Amino acid sequence: MKNIDIIIPVYNAYEYTEECIKSILKTTDLTKHTLVLINDKSPDEKIQPMLEKYKNENKELNIVVLENEQNMGFVKTVNKGMQYSKNDVILLNSDTEVTKNWIEKIEKCAYSNQYIATVTPLTNNGTICSVPNFGIDNELPENMTLEQYAEMIEKISKSRYPELTTGNGFCMYIKRDVIEEIGLFDDETFGKGYGEENDFCYRALDYGYSNVLCDDTFIYHKGTQSFKKENMTESRAALIEEHMKLLRGKHPIYVEKTDQFIANNPIRDIQENIQLNIYIYNKKRILYLVNEWEENLDMTGGTSLHIKDLILKNNQENIASFVLAPDKYDLERVKLYLYTDKVAKEIANFKTDMFKYGQIHCTNKRYYETMEMLFDVFKFDILHVHHFLYQTFDAIEIAKQRNVYSIMTLHDLYMICPSINMVYKDKFCEIDPKKDCAKCMHDRLGVNSDIVSSWREKCEKVLQNFDKLIVPSENTKKQYEKTYPNLNIEVVEHGVEIVKVEEKPYKEKDTFDIAFVGAMAIHKGSNILKELIKKSNNKKIRIHLFGKPNDEVLSKNTENYTNHGPYTRGELPQLLVNNQIDLVCILTTWPETYSYTLTESYMAKVPILTFKLGAVGDRVEKDELGWTIEPNSTSAQILEKIQEIIKNKEEYQKVKENFNRYEFKKVEEMQEYYKNLYETIETKNQPANIYELMDYRSKIREAEFNQYQADYGHVVHKYEKMRNTKMWKIAKKLKAKLRGK
């Protein structure tokens, strides 16, 4: 290791200078290296005694104090220091604080190539060397100390030492050989400072040298303290503008290259790596696996709404939420999002080939490799699976290999049957004695085998691998325990945000208004709704739909039916009240596991009619807030039940009164459960490294290109061959002439 002289020009800024010296004493071996402090005739009379004090208190260390007899200015003072030194130098501003191993890392960078002239480390305030945001003055992260920040940057760095057009004078290493060859700073042109280091670096480029960024070292720079007084602001701006003109006149090519550097930002990967690690530093990291997702959290499905509530709570805690979901426009592509507040940052996007080789996906090589890479890059603490549809079972295996705590919330019946809702010909298959599983699998999934028993064997093994299994209702627990009696399942009911509903004065009407709510699909009762519209002859019964219809029939209004269209979360209760709905029909043909629409209907204090099936049936019976009928009831029997409800006004009023004693489970209660669960899991707090992610992307791009060549290369070759024929060229000329006419 070389003897290096650290040259600090000092002009006022007493407190900052002292902090700078202390940081050097703490981190630097001054028995080997030399600290050269040059007081440029500071008006502050305390400066010189302070510098002498540190020299006298540390006589065993190499500390040199020089004082200019008159103010020479920054550039001449720097030159004085470089002339005093016979070694490599580090020019250091007095408003900096250095960090552990800084000098060793910068020197290593400098001698990684014999033609490196200057080295500049990362900083918070150093134009093109600034992190985490490029080209601006950054504050230090609030969630870590300076030493922790510098240590983190060192750990996550790839030490790739990217080339710069110019270094930055807040902290710049210069080799002695380069100084001897190209000379000192141009103190005649840039005597008052600003631009002198750029000029030096540009001259180094002329001589064939390079300037590099030491991307594993961070130095804190407070920034131009001698210009902080208000009356100096205009002169500072004028000086910068004047010296930029000088640089453009002297080095037009290099200034243009610097402008291009700023425009293109070739060190964006370094900044993004640091930004990511600042956010996740000391945070617990959870990977949520889902089957559908809206990155802006504008959710409609019950599963997605539930995860959104968890993410919003995580943002208030020390938890980083990652979501891996299929691209809604391309189900073979998976996207990884990181949530900061309510903002999603897409940080990975990969094509799998799951649908290339089969219909049922327990595993997939490309997906497995992607998941391994994501676990290794982001060091997840928890895997929380909410669905395996468009995912594979590989995730739980990878989590187990890495000792990652795993949770699965079972939101439907997918892990019992790949049909998801177990509806066979518009009925829950367990109540249909004529069900044909093989035919159902063929019609639903295009497979030609009776796979349900085999599917359950696989799913049982997968579920047994999880550390915790959660369902949102007792009914769902019964469904799973009936299939898998040895599983340990916990019931955690979803919580909801209580919507304040504005009550409307009752207007006399001669109709009994019933409503279907939510997105209408076959398993949600769309066929039943169509039958009721068709067969209801009672003009006093008015049918409404609040939600997205699944076909043209339900899109059109009729004499006894009104389609109100989709709504957003929280709007339903007020819509039901505003339209004076008397009864909500939730006639789903499968055992729903919770139902947010039921809870929102409760908020409007509207009685419910539902099947004696699933969580909805159980809740309505337990809460005494409506009526249940058998799930195989015909449309005529349903209409008959509605007529019965209309006639029995006393019973109807009693149900309405029951709403006054109903207590909702609030979203805060549910969030508190998960907060406590997540808190019990140890945080690894290892830095993430997106360079592994980038390497994987490159590997995938190459693989995709090779596959494209294999699939379409012969077509491209034939096309290119055809383009070179005489007939093609003649046709091209004729086409050009016709266009000219």
pLDDT level of residue 371 (50, 70, 90 thresholds): very high
Residue in the block written with tokens 């304040």 = 500
Is pLDDT of 703 > 60? Answer: no
Is pLDDT of 227 > 70? Answer: no
What's the whole-number mean pLDDT along residues 12-27?
97
Angle (nearest 5°) at CA 56 between 53 and 57? 80
Residue 724 C-alpha from the chain's centroid: 49
Measured CA to CA, the distance from residue 208 to residue 180 in angstroms comes to 15
Share the mean pLDDT of the chain: 90
**Among the CATH numbers 3.30.300.30, 3.30.70.3000, 3.40.50.2000, 3.40.50.20, which is that of 283-491?**
3.40.50.2000
The dotted CATH code for 512-664 is 3.40.50.2000
The pLDDT assigned to 539 comes to 85
pLDDT level of residue 711 (50, 70, 90 thresholds): low
Is pLDDT of 202 > 90? Answer: yes
**Among the CATH numbers 3.20.20.70, 3.90.550.10, 3.40.630.30, 3.40.50.150, which is that of 4-277?**
3.90.550.10
pLDDT level of residue 230 (50, 70, 90 thresholds): very low
- Token couple for 388: 């395996």
pLDDT level of residue 52 (50, 70, 90 thresholds): very high
- Contact between 549 and 522 under an 8 Å Cβ cutoff? The reply is no
pLDDT digits (tens, 9 = 90+) for 633-646: 999 999 999 999 99
Q: CA dihedral defined by 492, 494, 500, 501, rounded to 10 degrees? A: -120
What's the whole-number mean pLDDT along residues 159-163?
95
The model carries a pTM of 0.85
- Reported as type and span, the H/E element at residue 536 is none
Is pLDDT of 95 > 90? Answer: yes
Measured CA to CA, the distance from residue 240 to residue 258 in angstroms comes to 16
Q: Lowest-pLDDT range, 85-94, 100-109, 336-345?
A: 336-345
Is pLDDT of 353 > 60? Answer: yes
Is pLDDT of 563 > 60? Answer: yes
pLDDT digits (tens, 9 = 90+) for 672-681: 999 999 999 9
pLDDT level of residue 296 (50, 70, 90 thresholds): confident
pLDDT digits (tens, 9 = 90+) for 66-91: 999 999 999 999 999 999 999 999 99
> What are the helix (H) ranges across 267-387?
268-280, 302-316, 354-357, 365-378
- Contact between 603 and 311 under an 8 Å Cβ cutoff? The reply is no
Whether residue 132 is preceded by a cis peptide bond, meaning omega within 30 degrees of 0, is yes
DSSP conformational letter for 496? B
The pLDDT assigned to 641 comes to 95
pLDDT digits (tens, 9 = 90+) for 589-626: 999 999 999 999 999 999 999 999 999 999 999 999 99
Pinpoint the residues of the chain covered by CATH 3.90.550.10.
4-277
The pLDDT assigned to 225 comes to 43
Measured CA to CA, the distance from residue 460 to residue 472 in angstroms comes to 19
Count of CA atoms in the C-beta half-sphere (13 A) of 497: 13
Per-range mean pLDDT, top range of 27-31, 516-520, 731-735: 27-31
CA distances from 132 to 279, 341, 372 (A): 11, 18, 27
What's the whole-number mean pLDDT along residues 212-241?
74
The pLDDT assigned to 226 comes to 44
pLDDT digits (tens, 9 = 90+) for 264-274: 999 999 998 99
- Token couple for 18: 């002292």
Find, among 462, 352, 372, 468, the residue nearest to 418 by Cα.
462
pLDDT level of residue 699 (50, 70, 90 thresholds): low
Is pLDDT of 355 > 80? Answer: no
Pinpoint the residues of the chain covered by CATH 3.40.50.2000.
283-491, 512-664
